[in-house]
A and B are shown apart, each in its own frame.
Chain A
Amino acid sequence: MFRMTKILPTLCAFTLAWSALATTSVYAAEMITLGAAVSFTGKYSTNGMHTKNGYDLAVARINETGGIKVGDNTYELKIIYYDDESTPARGTQLIERLVNQDKVNFILGPYSSGLTKAIAPVTEKYQVPMVEGNGASRALFTQGYRYLFAVLSTSEQYLQSAVDLAAERASAMGKEPSSVRIAGVFENDPFSQDVRAGVLDDAKHHGMKMVIDDKLPPEINDMSTSLTKVRALKPDLLVVSGHAKGAALAIRQVSEMKIDVPMLALTHCDSAQVIDKFGKTAEYALCASQWDRTLSYKDEWFGTAEEYAQLFEATYNYAPPYQAAESTATVLTFVDAFQRAGSIDKEKVRDALAATDRETFYGHIDFDNSGKNIAKPMVLYQVQDGEYKVVAPTKWASSELRHPTPPWSQWQP
């Protein structure tokens, strides 16, 4: 009997707790859950953090402005995160887990092309839409994936605007664009080789000659041999692509070895923090960027690009790098698709995503059949007086290009 009196209340409590849980899950139906495996540890952890901050800022903004109206219901957003440890194998496991165990129907992309490449086959297998803002490799869009959408410009476009700019300058100085000689130093990884392919295409288009075409191994930390060639061959444009390592090395060694080159264009200057680290020696360098706060894009959630940047700064105490902005745009693209689909059925949302054609604070978003955004151009910064200034494309330029870079003998940083 004594035992019975103990068991009964326990049972009651259990039933109560169960019903309480059941009610919460009814409320949880008013929530749209997005899933993301992002690098919190490992070599991509810094950019993983930018990615997460970008996602979180969008979710906070959407929820505090009343959620998303989908058909007759209003939903709030929630993200389930896992740490992919910057390793592709872990990334694929976690996406399996998000889809199968957490029953997530919508995936936000990871950081980097490599991780995106690893998980895209999984989202494709389960027919779960993935919108991503940090995998730029063009190989992602040649596989015929149906559920993959990318808001950013693909990697072959990164330094094309630099080649165009060099052609423009040659014409302005009364020379033939085909007389421009290009030196390229590219890391031997998928991203930089895409960048290289873009530069080669564009050089061919203008009839320019590649006088140096070096491939740096991914683990390299010295480009003095390539720069020695640059000194000998005196090209008109030096393009370097090797993530943050490449950018930091290029700025450091070009100034140390006093290599004179009229135009130097890089990728990943901002993640390498070249202005903070190298100060005046970084002057005149051109840097490819997906986005900038001075651009005149806007949307109903964040207002202008500048207003987004201010909110981001107030929230996280640092200026938003483009990696964060494109992550925020990823969430906004989903929100827009939910609204237009009028449903949270994943197939309908996929179709709505495919039909996306709208402006955000990050730029215009319009996916082609392969899922990449074809509406947003890359911009080119120049380091001018210790600040990044947009100098190309001309339509978005906030400053005049300073060209050519004076020789080191005439200029002391």
Chain B
Amino acid sequence: MDNITILLDAPILLVQLLLDGLLAGAIFALAAYGMALVWGVMNIINVSQGEYVMLGGFVTVLLAEAGIHPMLGVPLVALLLYLLGWLIYRLVIFRIVDRDLFISLLATFGISILLQQLANQIFGADVRTAEGELGTSFLFNGMVTIAHIKLAAALIAVLTGGALWLFLKKSRLGQAIRATAQNARAARIMGIDTDRVYATTFALNAAICGAAGALVAMTWIIHPYFGLVYTIRSFMIVVVAGLGNLLGVIAAGLGLGAAENFAGFVLGVEYQAAFVFTLLVVILLARNLLLGRKRQYLK
């Protein structure tokens, strides 16, 4: 109750909470974007999603230590993670593409443990950060502050999302990816090299997550074990947005981020996660009820 009184006394804080929530949500949306892609195209729920975010973060920190500004490092990180994603596809993922969902859960869970422990061995268990040093803006007489790094991170997240959407819509390879997602067998008959499509999709996912990781290292903190948070959050966003709805993923990411921040403020931080999961259940129930009323057909 006290917390609501604070908001009533200083309603300008709503702006701060909304901004922080949206900016955080944008980064979550980026990781979720990758998950939606892999899930939609390959029918694999990638449990190692958060680990690519984590690796992206560590690469950014290393690049920053080598003197490369973390902002400039983002494309480089994405490229490196793309290669890693490709490698992991060629080693493991291609074996599980057409298999049972359970097998793919197990395999990606294994990869996630492996990457976590490798990161721990190579980079150490310490908390790390990369400094963007971009400054802070004051709004409304200093009551609202925006760290420029968060703004830049959100901008990069939205731009990457947009570029990816365009790529899938317009480019030849993007069309092949969408065709494979719709019907892999038909796509193969039409001469699409689905193996290559899968490899590209998985590598693209790793690259997007890597970029998200770079942003996380600049805005918050990273350590080898923070991946799971991003995996779960991505999963949730994708479930809320629905598969194959990539713009919906961005909207859901931003919305959940903002809702979460308000809940954290009003109910207390300890109920923040509980609130988000309750919200998920409510959304799923509501959607189910609506579906019952309206017959759906494939468009």
Q: Are the CB atoms of B270 and A222 closer together than 8 Å? A: no
Q: Are the CB atoms of B228 and A225 closer together than 8 Å? A: no
- Stretch among B96-104, B143-151, B189-197, B240-248 lining the A interface: B143-151
Q: Which residues of A contact B264 (CB under 8 A)?
A: 225
Q: Are the CB atoms of B121 and A248 closer together than 8 Å? A: no
Q: Are the CB atoms of B269 and A46 closer together than 8 Å? A: no
B114 within 8 A of A: no
Interface size class of B (residues with CB under 8 A): 35 or more
The distance in angstroms between the C-alpha atoms of A214 and B129, with both chains bound, is 24
- Stretch among B8-16, B206-214, B281-289 lining the A interface: B8-16
Contacting A at CB under 8 A, from B197-246, are 216, 220-221, 223-226, 228-229
- Stretch among A15-23, A249-257, A329-337 lining the B interface: A249-257
Q: Which residues of A contact B145 (CB under 8 A)?
A: 256-258
Q: Are the CB atoms of B127 and A214 closer together than 8 Å? A: no
With A225-B272, A256-B149, A409-B142 known to touch, is A232 a contact of B6 (CB < 8 Å)?
A: yes
Most buried by B among A216, A245, A249, A256: A256
B31 within 8 A of A: no
Q: Are the CB atoms of B229 and A221 closer together than 8 Å? A: yes
Q: Are the CB atoms of A257 and B129 closer together than 8 Å? A: no
Contacting B at CB under 8 A, from A18-46, are 41-46
A188 within 8 A of B: yes
The distance in angstroms between the C-alpha atoms of A219 and B129, with both chains bound, is 16
The distance in angstroms between the C-alpha atoms of A335 and B9, with both chains bound, is 61
How distant is B192 from chain A, measured CB to nearest CB, in Å? 40
How distant is B207 from chain A, measured CB to nearest CB, in Å? 22
Q: Which residues of B contact A257 (CB under 8 A)?
A: 136, 145, 147
With A217-B273, A252-B129 known to touch, is A228 a contact of B220 (CB < 8 Å)?
A: no
B37 within 8 A of A: no
Q: Which residues of A contact B20 (CB under 8 A)?
A: 222, 224-225, 228
Identity of the chain B residue whose Cβ is nearest the Cβ of A271 in the assembled complex: B126
Q: Which residues of B contact A409 (CB under 8 A)?
A: 142
Query: What mask results when residues 46 to 89 of chain A are scored 1 for a CB within 8 Å of chain B, else 0?
Result: 11000000000000000000000000000000000000000000
Q: Are the CB atoms of A217 and B272 closer together than 8 Å? A: yes
Q: Are the CB atoms of B143 and A244 closer together than 8 Å? A: no
Q: Are the CB atoms of B6 and A252 closer together than 8 Å? A: no
The distance in angstroms between the C-alpha atoms of A221 and B219, with both chains bound, is 10
Q: Are the CB atoms of B270 and A272 closer together than 8 Å? A: no
A215 within 8 A of B: yes
Of the residues B129, B220, B261, contact of A225 by C-beta under 8 Å: B261
Interface size class of A (residues with CB under 8 A): 35 or more
Of the residues B121, B131, B221, contact of A221 by C-beta under 8 Å: B221
B120 within 8 A of A: yes
Q: Are the CB atoms of B269 and A43 closer together than 8 Å? A: no
Q: Which residues of B contact A220 (CB under 8 A)?
A: 269, 272
Identity of the chain B residue whose Cβ is nearest the Cβ of A281 in the assembled complex: B131
Query: What mask results when residues 198 to 237 of chain A are scored 1 for a CB within 8 Å of chain B, else 0?
Result: 0000000000000000111101111111101101110000
The distance in angstroms between the C-alpha atoms of A273 and B142, with both chains bound, is 29
B24 within 8 A of A: yes
Contacting A at CB under 8 A, from B138-159, are 138, 142-143, 145, 147, 149-150
The distance in angstroms between the C-alpha atoms of A219 and B54, with both chains bound, is 14
Q: Are the CB atoms of B226 and A225 closer together than 8 Å? A: no
The distance in angstroms between the C-alpha atoms of A226 and B9, with both chains bound, is 17
Q: Are the CB atoms of A41 and B121 closer together than 8 Å? A: yes
How distant is A8 from chain B, measured CB to nearest CB, in Å? 50
The distance in angstroms between the C-alpha atoms of A288 and B150, with both chains bound, is 30
Q: Which residues of B contact A43 (CB under 8 A)?
A: 120, 125, 223-225
The distance in angstroms between the C-alpha atoms of A172 and B3, with both chains bound, is 32
Q: Which residues of B contact A245 (CB under 8 A)?
A: 127, 221, 223
With A45-B120, A215-B269, A217-B269 known to touch, is A229 a contact of B126 (CB < 8 Å)?
A: no
The distance in angstroms between the C-alpha atoms of A256 and B17, with both chains bound, is 15
How distant is B31 from chain A, measured CB to nearest CB, in Å? 13
A277 within 8 A of B: yes
With A41-B117, A225-B261, A226-B269 known to touch, is A219 a contact of B6 (CB < 8 Å)?
A: no
Contacting A at CB under 8 A, from B237-285, are 261, 264-265, 268-270, 272-273
The distance in angstroms between the C-alpha atoms of A252 and B131, with both chains bound, is 10
With A45-B125, A232-B6 known to touch, is A219 a contact of B270 (CB < 8 Å)?
A: no
How distant is A405 from chain B, measured CB to nearest CB, in Å? 16
Q: Which residues of A contact B128 (CB under 8 A)?
A: 277
Q: Are the CB atoms of B270 and A214 closer together than 8 Å? A: yes
Q: Which residues of B contact A226 (CB under 8 A)?
A: 269
The distance in angstroms between the C-alpha atoms of A216 and B138, with both chains bound, is 26
Q: Are the CB atoms of A219 and B229 closer together than 8 Å? A: yes
Identity of the chain A residue whose Cβ is nearest the Cβ of B230 in the assembled complex: A221
Q: Which residues of B contact A223 (CB under 8 A)?
A: 269
B162 within 8 A of A: no
B124 within 8 A of A: yes
Q: Are the CB atoms of B147 and A256 closer together than 8 Å? A: yes
How distant is B52 from chain A, measured CB to nearest CB, in Å? 16
12 contacts between A and B (CB under 8 A): A44-B125, A215-B270, A220-B269, A221-B229, A228-B17, A232-B13, A233-B6, A245-B127, A248-B129, A252-B220, A257-B136, A278-B131
Given contacts A221-B226, A257-B145, 16 further A-B contacts (CB under 8 A): A44-B125, A47-B125, A214-B268, A214-B270, A221-B221, A222-B20, A225-B264, A225-B265, A228-B16, A228-B20, A229-B6, A231-B13, A249-B220, A252-B221, A256-B145, A258-B136
A residues sitting closer than 8 Å to B (CB atoms) are 41-47, 185, 188, 214-217, 219-226, 228-229, 231-233, 244-245, 248-249, 252, 256-258, 271-273, 277-278, 409
The 4 closest A-B pairs by CB, nearest first: A225-B264, A256-B147, A215-B270, A221-B220
